[in-house]
Amino acid sequence: MDTNKGAGERTVGNGDTTRETLVENGKNKVHIECKYCSSRILNAGMCQFVQTEYTLPALERDDSAQDPKDNVENVTDFWCVEDIYTFENIGFSNTVGKAKYLACADCDRGPVGWHSLETKKSFVALSRVRHL
């Protein structure tokens, strides 16, 4: 969700970073890494910033939730990766519907995003990774 912050600045991901600090010419301006183990996921300039809504399983499971639908998060800010071989480090889940979830290949934390089996594009949630 984007919110106005000031003169032309808009927050992205989890709201603590402005788009201007992360995006240059539509691509990631900085390296992207796992927020848990610091493993590099993508190098700078390798993916496009896109806004599309997708529901991902929550990073932290809430065992008190009575409905499994309560353990999800709607995410809108993503890095779009055209080719899976662009990743420095990423793991893929088993197929779920028409997608696979993405996780850190080193620590298995995630999902950090999803991969479309139809378009062959991958989407990494800005709020679920660290930007350097």
Q: What is the CA radius of gyration of the chain?
A: 14
Express each pLDDT in 62-86 by its tens digit. Answer: 555 555 566 889 999 999 999 999 9
Residue found under tokens 């991969």 = 115
Report the alpha-carbon angle 36-41-45, nearest 5: 135
The SS3 of residue 19 is helix
Express each pLDDT in 30-61 by its tens digit. Answer: 999 999 999 999 999 999 999 999 999 988 76
Kindly give, in sequence order, each residue whose CB lies less than 8 Å from that of residue 110, ignoring residues fewer than 6 positions away. 59, 91, 101, 102, 103, 104, 128
Domain 11-131 has CATH 3.40.50.2300: no
Report the alpha-carbon angle 76-34-112, nearest 5: 35
Query: Does position 90 have pLDDT exceeding 90, yes or no?
Result: yes
H-type alpha helices, the chain = 19-22
Domain ranges of the chain: 11-131
Question: Could you tell me the CA-to-CA distances from 37 to 41, 44, 56, 87, 108 in Å, in that order?
Answer: 11, 18, 20, 16, 10
Torsion of CA 30, 91, 86, 15, to 10 degrees: -30
Provide the whole-model pTM: 0.82
